[in-house]
Structure 1
Amino acid sequence: MAAARWRSAAVAAIAAAGPGGGGPGRALRSGSASEPVPMPLSGPVAPATAALYVHWPYCRKRCFYCSFNKYVVPAVDEAAMGACLVHEARTLLRLSQVQSVTSVFFGGGTPSLASPRTIAAVLEGVAGAVHLPAGTEITLEANPSSSDTQHLADFKAAGVNRLSIGVQSLNDAELRLLGREHTAAEARSTVEVARRLFPGRTSLDLIFGLPGQSQEAWTRGLEEALGLSDDHISLYQLTLERGTLLAAQVWGGALPTPTQDLLADMYQAARAVLVAAGFRHYEVSNFARKGALSTHNLSYWRAEQYIGVGPGAHGRFVPQGEGSCCREARVQTLEPDAWMQEVQSRGHGTRRRVVLSPLEQLEEVLVLGLRTDEGITHARWQHVSPHLSLEAVFGAPGEAKALQQQGWLVLDSNGLRCTWEGLAVLDSLLPDLLCQLQRCWAPPATPVHHTSGTVAAGP
């Protein structure tokens, strides 16, 4: 394995979703801890199913590293927000004409600040619009500071069956550095309660690469978290985001930042520790054992159809209710009050929509699919590109063939995927692969037109 490639790009491919499990309400930037913005498959007939992401935009405070779409306000009109979430969900489900929802993810913000009654109302609204099968994965992001035993039990009664807990660290000094509300003791207590209520379905989020953090401190913290954890762990490299307090402190010289070599060592050490403990490294940032993979997040990485509800949420689906057969990328209005006004007046708060070309969708299938250990199957690729196979694009002489010969990629009867070494340096592989895809791509006879801007009133 080339040391230069490892050192220059080791953790650049780590982010899949923001700390807390993330969701399509968060934009993806290379190497950030933000949620992916995947573009789903297209085909002659839209899938009859979709995942559903619901964004709760409010927090009690803004953490020092956070640049997500969240708001700290004196008071929340929860009745109005809840009603609008139900209204928009039903509108977009009707517009998509999906028959069944495969998973629901409540992200934020801090959705554990919402009332369990609000969560129940959203789920009831969804179940009244489409089929919501019994046992469907329904995840709620929860912070230890807003997740006492009774509150979590009430969420379970409301229909939640999986928790993603924003632990981030089990070290009080690190938590203060990040600006988190909770203490390490509160985090431990919350995880223990969650595991009793949601056995096998409690995920922990951890952040590494903090200013001044050593590899030894990170490894100790990870091992402690491993002893506390259930069967799913998400790891995120801290990314300094413009406009955040932590970025200003580091860039101003008040705090140190780890070197790229140290970040690479932290990530590699974490992979080794977790795999040795029986976890499958099934996605760049995510580890699961006993089959506890996140169904919802897999829908992003597999480029499946999903619907984003709530301020700033992203969605990718075919609006068949408008007579369309084209897959669209949609973004909801960011600011909660403006979003609520739009939902109340026209049923949804979609601010921007873009028709995705087949090439754009293939690029996203490639970028997102290679994040997983399963990679991209021939069937998934062919669904978007029936005229140009994986073998035709990446089996021919060129960059992809060279990456296979160097041990970064595998192309076989199962499809295209990264090797163990390649998964850690994915971002350094993608430019070559994207260039090869673009050279091989033959556009369809009928051009696809792009539109963007504020949409007209919805159904």
Structure 2
Amino acid sequence: MALPGTRARGWAAAAQAAQRRRRVEGAGGSPRPEPESRRAALYVHWPYCEKRCSYCNFNKYIPRGVEEAAMRKCLVTEAQTLLRLSGVRRVESVFFGGGTPSLASPHTVAAVLEAVAQSSYLPADSEVTLEANPSSAPGSRLAAFGAAGVNRLSIGLQSLDDKELQLLGRTHSASDALRTLAAARHIFPGRVSVDLMLGLPGQQVGQWLRQLQELLHYCDDHISLYQLSLERGTALFAQVQQGALPALDSELAAEMYQRGREVLRQAGFRQYEVSNFARNGALSTHNWTYWQCGQYLGVGPAGAHGRFVPHGAGGHTREARIQTLEPDNWMKEVMLFGHGTRKRIPLGRLEILEEVLAMGLRTDIGVTHQHWQQFEPQLTLWDVFGASKEVKKLLEQGLLLLDHRGLRCSWEGLPVLDSLLLTLLPQLQEAWEQRTPAPVPGG
């Protein structure tokens, strides 16, 4: 078996070959820019975990024995198939998520990247992110992932309190997390993200803020804050229902979030999305694709999702795609058909606009007029929201801004986006129904 470094060189060679194939004569031999419809991000799902955390209801599996060579072959095959079906010629970013993808072999990561580079153009500086848990990512293993082509790490730290980590069912301690974080920053300087949870049962504001302040001494340039939500079927949900743990306090959680935002702003972080904060320009370009409603391909079992137009198969309508859940069934389908897509849902123009609005408003730039026009050239943001009394009230309250730049939430509005969408989405639907149909050519 080739070493990860060898695999990475294979990816680089494949990328250079793909670039040569796409060069145009003249203009200094520059690669031909690909239109947006031929660009996409790629998400690769590793479905396995060491154990199920007490709060997690994601579709994941605790393996008795993973035949990784078979899984690797199927991930490669499905990535190649979906790239062909989509007609995507340039992959902007790759994200290995899960599950716990740091349990996979670096050889698997390298093989997928090499296959992507052979099937499309994967620029050498593309963001390639791997999610990692501290218990499965010692420094030597992180270095091997770096040699395989990973250049950004997302660490599921969750808490710096050992009791909270035990409550969450995590397999690492706070010291494990900080040790992994230090190793990651050494290997991927400036490109390490950490997750921190808030709103746990019995958690207090001051206690949580001290954790955040401590994390600022060790973290890199990207932090994600996530509020715990109790999901049916999880151990934590059952404990709260049975009274073994106190119920979640939404007001306390809201205060933690608000004060956490302030702490991070003072530390030089930009809140570029509801849950994500970056400084020194360290935004996640992969996740930015989601929020801008760009195309993305979902590869792997356990319900990986995608949004793309199947140009390569002669399609012209954007589709939502969901892959088969159970890994064994998914592998059988990939071996038979080249992919394990279980559902294909054509998206109507209004559905796409609803996604553009809901996802775009999660970011600090919101929905610009230029971005909106890419999806709807006739019905402007002013047409939809400019004359609405309900929207005018939100503007007067300082929760929304509608101006020459576009529509966006204010600093005060971003934390209550869900409630704002209760007004904005019906307004969009009403404006869509009342729009003047475009004249039919030749009619």
Same topology, TM > 0.5? yes
Q: Secondary structure at the match of 1:203?
A: strand
Residue 177 of structure 2: aligned partner: 187
| Residue 414 of structure 1 pairs with residue 368 of structure 2 | no
What does 1:269-308 align with in structure 2 at a 5 Å threshold? 269-308=259-298
* TM-fit CA distance, 1:47: 1.2
2:344 and 2:237 mapped to 1: Cα distance? 32
- Equivalent residues of 1:46, 1:325 under 8 A apart: no
- Equivalent residues of 1:318, 1:327 under 8 A apart: yes
1:75 and 1:397 mapped to 2: Cα distance? 58
Residue 132 of structure 1: aligned partner: 122
* TM-fit CA distance, 1:257: 2.5
Q: Per-residue displacement from partner, 1:260-316 (whole Å, max 9, x unpaired)?
A: 211111001100100000000110000000000000000000111100000110000
| Residue 322 of structure 1 pairs with residue 304 of structure 2 | no
The aligned amino acid for 1:297 is N
* TM-fit CA distance, 1:78: 0.4
Rg larger in structure: 2
Counterpart pick for 1:211 among 196, 201, 213: 201
Residue 250 of structure 1: aligned partner: 240
Residue 225 of structure 1: aligned partner: 215
The aligned amino acid for 1:318 is V
Residue 88 of structure 1: aligned partner: 78
Counterpart pick for 1:429 among 413, 420, 429: 420
| Residue 379 of structure 1 pairs with residue 358 of structure 2 | no
1:397 and 1:309 mapped to 2: Cα distance? 41
1:241 and 1:397 mapped to 2: Cα distance? 36
- Equivalent residues of 2:366, 2:409 under 8 A apart: yes
* TM-fit CA distance, 1:73: 1.4
2:139 and 2:400 mapped to 1: Cα distance? 46
* TM-fit CA distance, 1:323: 1.0
* TM-fit CA distance, 1:398: 2.4
Q: Secondary structure at the match of 2:40?
A: strand
Counterpart pick for 1:402 among 387, 393, 400: 393
The aligned amino acid for 1:425 is V
* TM-fit CA distance, 1:445: 6.2
Residue 54 of structure 1: aligned partner: 44
Residue 118 of structure 1: aligned partner: 108
* TM-fit CA distance, 1:258: 3.3
Residue 235 of structure 1: aligned partner: 225
* TM-fit CA distance, 1:172: 0.5
Residue 455 of structure 1: aligned partner: none
What does 1:32-71 align with in structure 2 at a 5 Å threshold? 47-71=37-61
Task: Go from structure 1 to structure 2 and tell me whether the alpha carbon gap of 1:229 and 1:444 turns closer, same or farther (over 3 Å shift).
Answer: farther
Residue 186 of structure 2: aligned partner: 196
Question: TM-score normalised to the size of structure 1?
Answer: 0.86
Q: Tell me the matched-pair count.
A: 402
Long gaps (5+) in structure 1: 1-44, 447-459
Structure having the larger proportion of residues in helix:
2
* TM-fit CA distance, 1:332: 0.2
* TM-fit CA distance, 1:385: 1.0
- Equivalent residues of 1:96, 1:320 under 8 A apart: yes
Residue 353 of structure 1: aligned partner: 344
- Equivalent residues of 1:327, 1:356 under 8 A apart: yes
Q: Secondary structure at the match of 1:331?
A: strand
Q: Secondary structure at the match of 1:52?
A: strand
2:336 and 2:246 mapped to 1: Cα distance? 49
If asked which structure has higher relative contact order (CA below 8 Å, sep 6+), I would say 1
1:419 and 1:440 mapped to 2: Cα distance? 23
Task: Go from structure 1 to structure 2 and tell me whether the alpha carbon gap of 1:394 and 1:445 turns closer, same or farther (over 3 Å shift).
Answer: closer
The aligned amino acid for 1:240 is L
Q: Secondary structure at the match of 1:420?
A: coil
1:240 and 1:137 mapped to 2: Cα distance? 32
* TM-fit CA distance, 1:57: 0.2
The aligned amino acid for 2:384 is V
Further displaced range: 194-203 or 257-266: 257-266
Residue 380 of structure 2: aligned partner: 389
* TM-fit CA distance, 1:255: 0.1
Residue 137 of structure 2: aligned partner: 147
2:205 and 2:388 mapped to 1: Cα distance? 40
- Equivalent residues of 1:317, 1:327 under 8 A apart: yes
- Equivalent residues of 1:46, 1:318 under 8 A apart: no
The aligned amino acid for 2:350 is L
- Equivalent residues of 2:199, 2:250 under 8 A apart: no
- Equivalent residues of 1:398, 1:436 under 8 A apart: no
2:250 and 2:73 mapped to 1: Cα distance? 46
- Equivalent residues of 1:103, 1:296 under 8 A apart: yes
Residue 10 of structure 1: aligned partner: none
- After the TM superposition, which parts of structure 1 deviate over 3 Å for at least 4 consecutive aligned residues? 442-446
